Chain A
Amino acid sequence: MKSLRNRPELILSPVVFVVFIALWENLVNILEVNEIILPTPSRIGEALLVQLQTSVFWSNLWVTSQEALLGFLFATIFAVIAGTFISQIRIVDKTFMPYLVGFQAIPKVALAPIFLIWFGLGQTSKVVLAATIAFFPILINIIEGLKSADNDQIRMLRVFGASRSQIFFKVQVPCALPFFFAGLDVGILLAILGAVVGEFLGSQAGLGNMVLNAQFNFETPTMFAILLVLSAMGIIAHIIVKAFQRKFAFWGDTSNIIGN
Chain B
Amino acid sequence: MSALHKIYNTRGGGQTHALSDINFTAKKGDFISIVGPSGCGKTTLLNILAGLISKTEGSASVSGHEVSKPLPEIGMVFQAPTLLPWRTILENVMVPVEVQKLDKKKHLDKAKELLKLAGLEGFEDKYPNELSGGMQQRAGICRALVHSPSVLLMDEPFGALDAMTREYMNLELLRIWKESNQTIALVTHSITEAVFLSDRVIVMSPRPGRIAEIITIDLPRPRTLEMMNSDAAGVFVKKIRHYFNAANVIE
Which residues of A are in contact with B by a Cβ distance under 8 Å?
150, 152-153, 155-162, 166, 170-171, 174, 177, 249-251
Q: With A166-B99, A251-B127, A251-B129 given, is the CB distance from A161 to B70 under 8 Å?
A: yes
A-B contact count (CB 8 A): 54
Contact B50 A159 (CB under 8 A): yes
Contact A155 B52 (CB under 8 A): yes
Is residue B29 within 8 Å, beta carbon to beta carbon, of the partner chain?
A: no
Question: Separation in Å of the A151 CB from the closest CB of chain B?
Answer: 10
The closest CB in chain A to the CB of B98 belongs to A170
Q: Which of B8-16, B75-83, B116-124, B227-235 contacts A (4 or more CB under 8 A)?
A: B75-83
Q: With A170-B95, A251-B129 given, is the CB distance from A158 to B52 under 8 Å?
A: yes
Contact A159 B100 (CB under 8 A): no
The closest CB in chain A to the CB of B76 belongs to A159
For the complex, count residues of B whose C-beta is within 8 A of A. Answer: 24
Of A150, A162, A174, A250, the contact of B99 (CB 8 Å cutoff): A162
Which residues of B are in contact with A by a Cβ distance under 8 Å?
50-52, 69-72, 74-76, 78, 80, 82, 84-86, 95-96, 98-100, 127, 129, 147
A153 cross-chain contacts in B, Cβ below 8 A: 82, 84
- Chain B binding site: helix, strand, loop or mixed by DSSP? loop
Contact A174 B70 (CB under 8 A): no
- Give CA–CA (A115, B80) in the complex, Å: 53
Nearest first, the 8 closest Cβ-Cβ pairs linking A and B are A251-B85, A160-B96, A162-B99, A159-B76, A156-B82, A160-B99, A152-B82, A174-B86
Contact B78 A170 (CB under 8 A): no
- Give CA–CA (A166, B96) in the complex, Å: 11
Of A150, A152, A159, the contact of B70 (CB 8 Å cutoff): A159
Q: List 21 A-B contacts (CB under 8 A).
A: A150-B82, A152-B82, A155-B52, A155-B78, A157-B95, A159-B51, A159-B52, A159-B74, A160-B76, A160-B95, A160-B96, A160-B147, A161-B70, A161-B71, A161-B96, A166-B99, A170-B84, A170-B95, A170-B98, A251-B86, A251-B129
